[in-house]
């Protein structure tokens, strides 16, 4: 059995289902394994694993383990998919339609990802040769939306892209924005920024992990002595709006590594696909539901509504997990192995003093910081004349990013499929700054009520998009809105966000744990675990789960193939320069291109 529970506080015992032999046999055959590999604790019995958390990390771990013949049970307190899931807007369905689709925040699966796309290819989807991976579509453009000025519109070229179809007026506006930005960022500032990127590109790993991990992006780019446009686009635009970290404290290593990966992605180097990719339907329809169906066919069991309270430790091992079942009864879950796949702010609460003492890296996780980056959706009765892609509203006080979704869902008629038939599109917006005053109420987002947050975001959207003689967003077209239900207590002294995001101030790298712990049957998985992509992402969650499974396979001496973990692309032509920089670093010298 994949796990055992005993009642420690009342309530009935959980129903158990045995591993589906046919599903596991098929997966094992695909991997070239016997049905149970050599992972079983005794002949003929698959080893049991309790996966704590059903987000991307937990589902990935369950997927890799089930394909290798383990008996897996996933314990999830809320809903499978975690922060990646889509959800229904309550009481919004009419006339046989589905409820309006909502989400914690819009999904973004760039071509720099390799591990997550590999998993997506292995999730069957009707009519798709490459599984749910074929549900990815590539927006042809993106924009830095400026307040009071024309928006800077950027095409996202990729072989096979037809590109966005533009009107004469849109072409005029795009050229105006390009020339405005070019004239407002002096040439010497552009040259300086490019020079700083060259320094990072040619820096060895030791310099990145030490010097650049310790230096804020703001200081690395010299933002305090540059023009406003330089700061807005090149310092703030790639930090607060994308990774929810303030440029003044964000690790240069984290930000520059991301930029490096995106630059090579745009050049078609080492990429899984286009720079910008999104799903062609609500996340659960396009990805999460097919995934959980596939895992069920492999014998994975799910316990939804189970809240992990403590990972218990004794005699050098994890002895069980104390969890509350959906009825509130406390139970002890037991298995041979345990993978903690919860977000760090939830996981570290479950690690008691004895477990922390067994592996010091668990205590270091207390130093990891999280912040708010939360989504709100606006449903429209008229599609807004926006570009086909993501908007980065770099001048908005609350650091908004957005995308209008229906035009990217070619298999869906939004009005016919969702809601009451009058909403034709969904403008999905991420709010990255919750501690600065807005433009309507003079309050931070945390100080506003939910209704005030919606009004404030709508006002900031209009300020950025209705500012140059066009009415892009109409009040009359606003059907309704939905704010992530993980946020509560807004407008009170103690607001709560159940779904915070790991941020990356300087020094974060050195507090991120490895997937393998010193406890022989306990492993870590999640976007806070140390992996090659130094950013809180679904890719990081997926890669960490693969590393956790590999550590488990090593521990039990399994003959099963190890999970492939693909690192970020490194340009081979830069390798000699990085080797040279390693020598300079060890001699205490600056990078040869670092002119200050």
Q: Does the pLDDT value for residue 260 go beyond 50?
A: yes
Q: pLDDT tens digit string along 77-127?
A: 999 999 999 999 999 999 999 999 999 999 889 999 999 999 999 999 999
Write down the mean pLDDT value for the chain.
88
Look at residue 38 and tell me whether its pLDDT is greater than 60. no
Q: Angle formed by the axes of helices 289-297 and 56-67, to 10°?
A: 30
Given a cut of 60, whether residue 3 has pLDDT beyond it is: no
Of the candidate ranges 10-24, 263-277, 319-333, 392-406, the one whose mean pLDDT is the lowest: 10-24
Domain segments of the chain as ranges: 4-82+284-367+509-556, 89-141+276-281+371-497
Three-class SS of 211-280: HHCCCEHHHHCCHHHCCHHHHHHHHHCCCHHHHCCCCCCEEHHHHHHHHHHHHHHHCCCCCCCCCCCEEC
pLDDT at position 56 over 80: yes
pLDDT tens profile 268-321: 888 899 989 999 999 999 999 999 999 999 999 999 999 999 999 999 999 999
Residue 165 has pLDDT above 60, yes or no: no
pLDDT exceeds cutoff 70 at 153: yes
Tens of pLDDT, residues 197-249: 999 999 999 999 999 999 999 999 999 999 988 888 888 877 765 666 778 88
Q: Which helix (H) or strand (E) holds 585?
A: helix 575-586
Angstrom CA distances, 213 to 252, 365, 508, stand at 6, 17, 8
- pLDDT range class, residue 411, cuts 50, 70, 90: confident
**At residue 563, does pLDDT exceed 50?**
yes
CA 34 to chain centre: 34
pLDDT band per the 50, 70, 90 thresholds, residue 173: low
CA-CA distance, 596 to 591, in Å (whole number)?
10
> By percentage, how much of the chain surpasses pLDDT 90?
73
Q: How many residues does the chain have?
A: 596
CB 340 within 8 A of CB 352: no
CA–CA distance, 250 with 185 (Å, rounded to integer) = 22
Residue 312 phi/psi, 5-degree rounding, is: -85, 150
Per-residue pLDDT at 163 exceeds 60: no
Quick: pLDDT tens for 65-77. Answer: 999 999 999 999 9
Given a cut of 80, whether residue 164 has pLDDT beyond it is no
pLDDT at residue 39 above 60?
A: no
**What does the alpha-carbon distance between residue 477 and residue 458 come to, in Å, rounded to a whole number?**
12
User: At 156, phi and psi to the nearest 5?
Assistant: -115, 80
Is the predicted pLDDT of residue 36 greater than 60, yes or no?
no
DSSP at 127: T
* H or E element, residue 17: none
Distance (Å, whole) CA 45 – CA 61: 20
Over the Cα atoms of the chain, what is R_g? 24
Q: How far is CA 586 from CA 204, 210, 256, 583, in A?
A: 10, 12, 22, 5
**Domain 4-82+284-367+509-556: which CATH class?**
alpha beta
Range 496-516 average pLDDT: 95
**Residue 143: exposed, middle, or buried by beta-carbon count in 10 A (0-12, 13-18, 19+)?**
buried
pLDDT tens by residue, 530-552 = 999 988 899 999 999 999 999 99
pLDDT at 71: 98
What is the predicted pLDDT for the residue at 20?
35
% the chain with pLDDT above 70: 87
Closest CA to 521 of 335, 308, 301: 335
Q: Rounded to an integer, what distance in angstroms lies between the CA atom of residue 363 and that of residue 511? A: 9
pTM over 0.85: yes
Q: How far is CA 534 from CA 8, 364, 527, 530, in A?
A: 40, 17, 9, 7
**Confidence band of 468 (pLDDT split at 50, 70, 90):** confident
pLDDT at res. 18: 28
- 472 Rama sector, left if φ>0, alpha if ψ -120 to 50, beta otherwise: alpha
Which residues, listed in sequence order, are joined to residue 340 by a DSSP beta bridge?
52, 524
């Amino acid at each position: 059995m994949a796990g055992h529970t005993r009642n420690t506080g009342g309530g009935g015992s959980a129903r158990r289902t045995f591993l589906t032999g046919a599903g596991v046999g098929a997966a094992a055959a695909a991997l070239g394994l016997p049905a149970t590999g050599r992972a079983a604790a005794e002949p003929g019995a698959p080893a049991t694993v309790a996966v704590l958390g059903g987000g991307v990390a937990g589902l990935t771990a369950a997927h890799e383990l089930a394909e290798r013949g383990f008996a897996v049970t996933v314990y999830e307190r809320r809903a499978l998919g975690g922060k990646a899931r889509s959800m229904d807007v309550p009481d919004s369905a009419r006339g046989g339609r589905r409820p309006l689709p909502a989400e914690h925040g819009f999904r973004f699966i760039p071509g720099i990802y390799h591990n997550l796309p590999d998993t997506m290819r292995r999730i069957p989807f009707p009519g798709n040769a490459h599984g749910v991976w074929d549900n990815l579509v590539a927006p042809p453009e993106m924009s830095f939306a400026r307040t009071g000025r024309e928006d800077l519109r950027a095409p996202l070229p990729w072989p096979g892209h037809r590109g966005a179809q533009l009107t004469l007026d849109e072409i005029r506006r795009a050229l105006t924005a390009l020339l405005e930005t070019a004239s407002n960022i002096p040439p010497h500032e552009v040259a300086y920024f490019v020079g700083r990127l060259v320094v990072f590109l040619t820096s060895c790993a030791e310099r990145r992990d030490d010097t650049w991990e310790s230096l804020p992006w703001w200081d690395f780019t010299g933002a305090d002595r540059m023009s406003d446009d330089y700061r807005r686009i090149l310092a703030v635009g790639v930090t607060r709006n994308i990774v929810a970290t303030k440029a003044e404290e964000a690790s240069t290593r984290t930000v520059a590594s991301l930029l490096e990966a995106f630059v090579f992605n745009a050049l078609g180097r080492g990429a899984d696909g286009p720079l910008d990719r999104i799903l062609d339907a609500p996340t659960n329809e396009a990805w999460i539901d097919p995934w959980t169906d596939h895992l069920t066919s492999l014998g994975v069991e799910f316990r939804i509504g189970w809240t992990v309270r403590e990972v218990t430790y004794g005699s050098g091992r994890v002895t069980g997990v104390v969890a509350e079942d959906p009825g509130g009864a406390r139970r002890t879950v037991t298995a041979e192995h345990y993978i903690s796949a919860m977000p760090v702010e939830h996981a570290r609460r479950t690690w008691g003093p004895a477990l922390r003492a067994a592996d010091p890296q668990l205590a270091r996780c207390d130093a990891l910081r999280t912040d708010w980056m939360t989504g709100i959706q606006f449903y429209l009765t008229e599609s807004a004349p926006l570009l086909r892609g993501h908007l980065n509203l770099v001048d908005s006080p609350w650091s908004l990013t957005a995308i209008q979704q229906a035009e990217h869902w070619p298999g869906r008629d939004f009005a016919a499929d969702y809601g009451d038939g009058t909403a034709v599109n969904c403008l999905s917006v991420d709010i990255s700054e919750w501690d600065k005053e807005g433009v309507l109420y003079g309050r931070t987002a945390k100080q506003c009520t939910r209704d005030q947050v919606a009004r404030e975001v709508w006002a900031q959207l209009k300020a950025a998009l209705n500012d140059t003689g066009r009415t892009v967003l109409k009040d009359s077209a606003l059907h309704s809105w939905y704010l992530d239900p993980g946020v509560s207590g807004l407008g009170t002294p103690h607001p709560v966000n159940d779904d915070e995001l790991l941020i990356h101030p300087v020094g974060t790298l050195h507090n991120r744990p490895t997937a393998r712990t010193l406890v022989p049957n306990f492993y870590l998985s999640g976007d806070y675990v140390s992996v090659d992509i130094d950013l809180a992402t679904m890719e990081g969650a997926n890669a960490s789960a693969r590393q956790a499974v590999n550590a488990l396979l090593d521990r039990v001496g399994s003959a099963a193939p190890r999970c492939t973990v693909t690192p970020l692309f490194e340009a081979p032509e830069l390798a000699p320069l990085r080797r040279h920089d390693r020598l300079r670093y060890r001699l205490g010298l600056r990078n040869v291109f670092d002119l200050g």
